[in-house]
Structure 1
Amino acid sequence: MKINKAFFEKSSSTIDNCPSTKLFEIAFIGRSNVGKSSLLNMLLNKKSIAKVSKTPGKTKLINYFLVNDTIFFVDLPGYGYAKLSKKNKLEISKITQSYFENRLQLKQIFLLIDIRHEIQKADFEFMNYLKSIKKEFNIIFTKKDKIKESQVSKYCLDYLKSLDNIFVNNEYFICSSKTKYGRQEILDYLNKVKF
């Protein structure tokens, strides 16, 4: 997949406010501060199309980015950030849940995982949730540049082994938004996927 142009389309607080087009959507989700916005900037080859914040839990809306006038990349609110108020956590959960269970245009899900950490409870619970609603997902390991090159494969394989039967025959990618490592691999995958 070659990205010729991309721009921010809109932010939505409810499913009813999402774009009314029938264009297919590729969703990106993960724990707060996993690097979703940085990854989107890297994939779309634009420095700040998605706003990056050092404050976990900053993204509270569904953010739409129109790519090549043919498909949407969707930045979803992060999960698992303890310092959000209970009200905000519930609202984010409801927005995300409503999107995954009701959005017919959703065709691909990328779950972002910080390569530096062992499996987190929030990630495990979210994967089980996706499985319960019969949604397939692929994993993107982020922040590859934060660990030694010699450790990358071991970290990923150990993580995948810990998932039991949740993640079977799905794709995984290793990325660094800083160095753009893994960008082309993800775009090539999207190019061959039949939507």
Structure 2
Amino acid sequence: MKVTKSEFVISAVGPDQYPVDALPEIALAGRSNVGKSSLINRMLSRKNLARTSSTPGKTQQLNYYRANDDLYLVDFPGYGYAKVSKTQRAAFGEMIERYLLNREELKLVLLVVDLRHPPSKDDIIMYDWLQYYDRDVCVVATKADKIPRSRWSKHIKMVKETLGFRPHHSMVMFSSESGLGKDELWSIIQSYTNYGLEADEANEDDTFSIEKGQE
């Protein structure tokens, strides 16, 4: 997808603040500091649209970013950060659960994990929860540029085994630094939104990805 227009729209804390234009929504879930903001910036071809922070747990709302007037990327609060109070974590959990269960515009959840490490307990809980409620999921393994190519397959296997990855889901290896996986991820998003999105020419660095449970 070639993004020619992108913008931050709103930080929402409840249904009364969600956009009402009925565009499809793609949600991003993951632990704090996993790189969701950097992923959004790379996907939307903007350097600082989604603000990255050295302070984990900063995002406390559902942040809506619109792409080409065709769809939204919706950034969830990061989970699993100890300095966020139990009360805040409970409030985040209720907000996210309400959105995931009731939002008709939601078409796909991107579960963002760090390719360098096994998925956390919270990642596993989120993945299992999404499966239980039959939400479509694509696992996005970020920071691929931090690992030698020769070890990619080993780390992908580690992520899949730790999560209990299901073959009918998608998985993409991603790097916000190099753009690895960007075109592949847009292609998957397009398949869930049914929009005739204009595709970029494939980048040679984007040739390695894992879809639909393929090794």
> TM-score, normalised on structure 2?
0.86
Aligned position for 2:35: 35
Equivalent-residue separation in structure 2 for 1:6 and 1:194 (angstroms): 17
The number of aligned residues is 194
Equivalent-residue separation in structure 2 for 1:119 and 1:78 (angstroms): 14
Assess if the C-alpha contact under 8 Å between 2:28 and 2:109 holds in 1: yes
Determine which structure has greater relative contact order: mean sequence separation of CA pairs < 8 Å that are 6+ residues apart, divided by chain length: 1
Question: How far apart are 1:120 and its partner, in Å?
Answer: 1.2
Assess if the C-alpha contact under 8 Å between 1:2 and 1:187 holds in 2: no
Alignment of 1:1-195 (within 5 A): 1-164=1-164, 166-195=165-194
Q: Deviation above 6 Å: which 4+ runs of structure 1?
A: none
Moved more, 182-191 or 111-120: 182-191
Q: Secondary structure at the match of 1:162?
A: helix
Q: Secondary structure at the match of 2:163?
A: coil
Question: How far apart are 1:158 and its partner, in Å?
Answer: 2.4
Assess if the C-alpha contact under 8 Å between 2:107 and 2:136 holds in 1: no
Assess if the C-alpha contact under 8 Å between 1:110 and 1:138 holds in 2: yes
Equivalent-residue separation in structure 2 for 1:102 and 1:176 (angstroms): 31
Q: Secondary structure at the match of 2:66?
A: strand
> TM-score, normalised on structure 1?
0.94
Equivalent-residue separation in structure 1 for 2:46 and 2:7 (angstroms): 9
Equivalent-residue separation in structure 1 for 2:173 and 2:158 (angstroms): 14
Give me the CA root mean square deviation: 1.3
Q: Give CA deviations for 1:90-149 in whole Å, capped at 9, x if unaligned.
A: 111111111101111000111000011112111111111112212121100001112222
Gaps of 5+ in 1: none
Equivalent-residue separation in structure 2 for 1:145 and 1:157 (angstroms): 17
Assess if the C-alpha contact under 8 Å between 2:108 and 2:189 holds in 1: no
Moved more, 131-140 or 107-116: 131-140
Gaps of 5+ in 2: 195-215
Assess if the C-alpha contact under 8 Å between 1:15 and 1:95 holds in 2: no
Question: How far apart are 1:179 and its partner, in Å?
Answer: 1.3
